[in-house]
Structure 1
């Protein structure tokens, strides 16, 4: 995706793919000339004092891993130290940090984007939630890091958002595609001047694969009139039967959450998941993941227009 596009994720033919999600377009992330020419927009935090402490992202910046903890069988929470305790990332939503490393014995560096789950004004550290994939060069590297190890990062701005730009946003995610949408959710709800309403539909393979569930549940309790969420899983157990929707992201499922087209006001739907899921929900991206492509799938059936939908 050009500066504002994130390669989508890979999900089984519909929306529940917690076990097989990874940002798409990894094939073009290896086109190194793209990265060094990519411009990224950065907005400063509202606090002018904090703005002065924002990391000066110039090219790739080396950060040291501070801590790592397992979230489930294939996901780790990784926290990196910023240049000093008073530094903040100062990144606007939605912005990922592009990693760069050269595998041992290789000549060509590997680039992968990861979206922080920590707030942009959090002092001293930046945190990621990273899922490991079989033979994943980026996720494998991230999971191999031990406290004290370093990695190179560079901001990659992916979607422009302005407070109250939309009356409502619907977020549709699969697996680890949740991280950019979590970043946006936090940014909207943390801003008392932003009145945008948010509805989340999050699809996974199983209950264990639902990332950031506690965080989303807490936000739903704290902002009952502004944030709602719906989880759907492919596999249920006797213990969680009835707690979640079951199956893929379908027209029937979205109809329970998505704002009716007749409500008025400007709305936006953001879709972040594996390519099969994105195609099923909103139509395939174009240009090998570089462009938005035509609108299709469930959202087209529900009457949404291309301008109202953004695919990651």
Structure 2
């Protein structure tokens, strides 16, 4: 300590006599401690600045279950390449695309279940492609439920002349890939969400409705009443069976429950062209702008009266929701009808607890 006193005294800042007093020694001890802390901090910062950055943790090895299928979307990476394995024309401008879900590392066919997307009912995926040097992304709802077509998912997409991703998909050939990401969306369906769903869809806006309908009808504990009004321009635009129809809920049988929904995979079960039969779990009314001769469904545009006829018996105050998806002009017209019937205006971005939800 005496040598430190001599060094400090030589600076001329503090007199040596003062440093030899008890107060001076205390001052010196505090000063030395402060310098030590400063040096330690400087050494730490210097070491940190020259050290190598921490490595990002390696992707952990997957532990695959032999009973539960691996869900691809919520895990490991953002974008997943999905290979097109089948493409079927359903109308002059609408195709059904079937994509393989890649098997994760360690998957053994026959031992591990085929992978699934892991997409909650009512949510959608993003599809990305590079078009004219730009990365374009669009959202689509698969028409399949997880595990319905093991190891695959289906997309129903209408191609537009000026569309980006829709036209890109229409030009795809079997074996080519697209990039997929998800889940995305604010709507997640479960059996206790509402007692009644009034669904209004136009064109390929049917896809989120179709997914919800299938999930509900496949669940024998689901008592939700489903009512669909589905609009198209021409009969050829409908990738589903025409006219109005209804079905009951068939316990434990997805195939029988949804057998009236889609003509490219399933056959028609029942027609109901007039009054709604009480107790039917699902009822659909088809509407065409250009109705052909003999058409028994709705004609022209969806009207306020059509919507009112499919509302729950308790009206707006009942425990029901309105779900809508379709072209913007159509959706704007539907908002006007719903407002006239007393429904609340939908939010700019719909939330799950909204009574009127716009996909």
Which of the five TM-score ranges fits, normalised by the shorter chain?
Answer: 0.7 to 0.9
Name the TM-score, length of structure 1 as normaliser: 0.73
- Runs of 4+ aligned residues of structure 1 deviating over 3 Å after TM superposition are 48-52, 216-224, 260-265
Q: Secondary structure of the equivalent of 2:230?
A: strand
Q: Secondary structure of the equivalent of 2:306?
A: helix
Report how many residues are paired: 247
Structure 1 distance, partners of 2:281, 2:269, is 8
Structure 2 distance, partners of 1:302, 1:260, is 14
Seen in structure 2, the aligned counterparts of structure 1 residues 265 and 139 have a Cα distance that, compared at 3 Å, is: same
Match for residue 97 of structure 2 among 51, 66, 78: 78
Counterpart of 1:68 in structure 2 is 87
Gaps of 5+ in 2: 1-64, 104-108, 242-259, 272-276, 346-353
Seen in structure 2, the aligned counterparts of structure 1 residues 246 and 82 have a Cα distance that, compared at 3 Å, is: same
Structure 2 distance, partners of 1:170, 1:244, is 17
Structure 1 distance, partners of 2:165, 2:125, is 12
Counterpart of 2:22 in structure 1 is none
Seen in structure 2, the aligned counterparts of structure 1 residues 165 and 220 have a Cα distance that, compared at 3 Å, is: farther
Deviation at 1:266, TM superposition (A): 1.0
CA contact (8 A) 1:132 1:139 kept: yes
Q: Please give the per-residue CA displacement for 1:179-215, whole angstroms capped at 9, x wherever unaligned.
A: 1111111111112221111000001101111223352
Counterpart of 1:59 in structure 2 is 78
Deviation at 1:234, TM superposition (A): 0.7
Structure 2 distance, partners of 1:119, 1:272, is 19
Match for residue 136 of structure 1 among 156, 163, 188: 163
Counterpart of 2:204 in structure 1 is 176
Deviation at 1:118, TM superposition (A): 1.2
Counterpart of 2:302 in structure 1 is 249
Structure 2 distance, partners of 1:111, 1:263, is 36
Q: Does 1:310 align with 2:357?
A: yes
Structure ID, larger Rg? 2
CA contact (8 A) 1:220 1:229 kept: no
Structure 1 distance, partners of 2:318, 2:68, is 33
Deviation at 1:264, TM superposition (A): 5.9
Deviation at 1:265, TM superposition (A): 4.0
Structure 2 distance, partners of 1:194, 1:247, is 34
Deviation at 1:91, TM superposition (A): 1.1
Q: Does 1:298 align with 2:341?
A: no
Counterpart of 2:141 in structure 1 is 115
Q: Please give the per-residue CA displacement for 1:36-80, whole angstroms capped at 9, x wherever unaligned.
A: xxxxxxxxxxxx966442225430100111011111110111100
Structure 2 distance, partners of 1:126, 1:212, is 18
Seen in structure 2, the aligned counterparts of structure 1 residues 50 and 251 have a Cα distance that, compared at 3 Å, is: farther
Name the TM-score, length of structure 2 as normaliser: 0.64
Seen in structure 2, the aligned counterparts of structure 1 residues 137 and 262 have a Cα distance that, compared at 3 Å, is: closer
Q: Please give the per-residue CA displacement for 1:258-288, whole angstroms capped at 9, x wherever unaligned.
A: 2244486410000111111111111xxxxxx
- Root-mean-square deviation (Å): 2.4
